[in-house]
């Protein structure tokens, strides 16, 4: 196993700026996020600029984009590369290398799960949230759901911890 490197202060990361999710249809993706979160996207635009093509590696890139603010300060950036031909959607399989999921915490997982399903999410486990029976999250609950483009959304309710009596 590699030894942790000493990172020069100037090279250290300072936090999460955003999480980017490529979508097949920006409008359809926004339908889910805006109804699930109960608020509109903070920003939408069509991005077209020579610098963008250099960053993403597609000549003459044109991307329909939106910023969606999540509770807690993280931003999801939805990206629709609408002019790129032959785009392939992710298969509905979280075991594929490169697959990423987004996990959102909820105080009432059953209610959050039902709301996500009402907004169009497809549950992996049709019976709903599952109790975590072992490991560092023992006592918590979790549920995987598929949203637009088979993106996996995990909803997570932390275990209730009893206050220690000293």
The pTM for the full model equals 0.80
CA distance 61 to 28: 21
Adjacent-strand bridge partners of 145: 123, 153
Does residue 5 form part of some domain?
Answer: no
59: helix, coil or strand? coil
Q: Are residues 29 and 63 in the same domain?
A: yes
The mean pLDDT value of the chain amounts to: 88
Residue 96 covered by a domain: no
Q: Which domain holds residue 48?
A: 15-80
Structural domain includes residue 7: no
Per-residue pLDDT tens over the stretch 75-99: 999 999 999 888 888 787 777 777 7
The count of structural domains within the chain is 2
On whether residue 33 sits in a domain, the answer given is: yes
CA distance 125 to 159: 20
CATH code of the domain covering residue 114: 3.10.180.10
Instruction: Kindly state whether residue 89 falls inside one of the protein's structural domains.
Output: no
Residues 21 and 73 in one domain: yes
pLDDT of residue 161: 76
Please indicate, yes or no, whether residues 76 and 22 belong to a single structural domain of this protein: yes
Q: Do 23 and 58 fall within a single domain?
A: yes
For residue 4, count CB atoms less than 10 angstroms from its CB and return exposed for 0-12, middle for 13-18, buried for 19 or more. Answer: exposed
SS3 87: coil
Q: What is the DSSP string of 18-33?
A: -EEEE-S-HHHHHHHH
């Amino acid at each position: 196993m590699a030894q942790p490197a000493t990172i020069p202060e100037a090279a250290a990361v300072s936090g999460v700026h955003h999480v980017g999710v490529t979508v097949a249809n920006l409008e359809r993706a926004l339908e889910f996020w805006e109804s699930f979160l109960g608020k509109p996207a903070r920003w939408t635009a069509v991005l077209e600029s020579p610098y963008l093509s250099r960053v993403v590696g597609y000549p003459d890139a044109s991307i329909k984009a939106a910023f969606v603010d999540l509770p807690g300060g993280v931003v999801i950036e939805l990206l629709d590369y609408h002019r790129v031909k032959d785009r392939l959607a992710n298969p509905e399989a979280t075991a594929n290398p490169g697959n990423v999921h987004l996990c959102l915490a909820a105080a009432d997982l059953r209610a959050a799960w039902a709301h996500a399903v009402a907004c169009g999410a497809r549950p992996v486990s049709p019976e709903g949230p599952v109790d975590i029976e072992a490991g560092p999250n023992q006592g918590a609950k979790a549920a995987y759901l598929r949203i637009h483009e088979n993106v996996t959304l995990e909803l997570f309710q932390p275990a209730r911890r009893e206050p220690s009596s000293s």
